[in-house]
Amino acid sequence: MRLNPDAAKIRRWRDERHWSQEHLADLAGIGVRTIQRIENGEAASRESLMALAAAFNVDVYVLTADTKADAARKRKEKQRKGLAALRLSFWISLASYVFGMILFAGISIGAGGGTYLMLWPSIWWTVGVAGHALTLVIVELVTRYQQTESV
């Protein structure tokens, strides 16, 4: 049976101990080429991983990579970053909107005449910011729903 070892962890542990691949192979009683294949991310036999675990003095399951859990963790991290970016873009948009409305009010007051000259730009900019806010709310709700479904 072939297992997926955590190549980065094995390489990191070997480097932290200042062991060469040859030294680790001698300690584990396996070939140097096997160590090289494992550190390159290739699948390994149960016996090879047991030998490595004995050399590192850890349990075998610590050396294996859980690809499904790693993929789920990366997906959640990507989703979290995307949501944070959407929130930031909304707050920047809202700050620009407030500044723009103050500027539009100043232009209309300065022009005189008793009418709000910037009415249509204000309306359409408000629609745009409201659409951005709605998008953020929907994404937040979908994210929370997905989190409750996965638990």
Give the domain ranges of the chain. 2-63, 67-150
CATH class in words for 2-63: mainly alpha
- Report the C-alpha gap between 61 and 103 in whole angstroms: 63
pLDDT tens sequence across 34-55: 999 999 988 888 899 999 999 9
Radius of gyration, alpha carbons of the chain = 29
Enter the pTM of the model.
0.58
If one counts every other C-beta atom within 10 angstroms of the C-beta of residue 121, the result is 13
pLDDT tens sequence across 111-141: 887 888 899 999 999 999 999 999 999 999 9
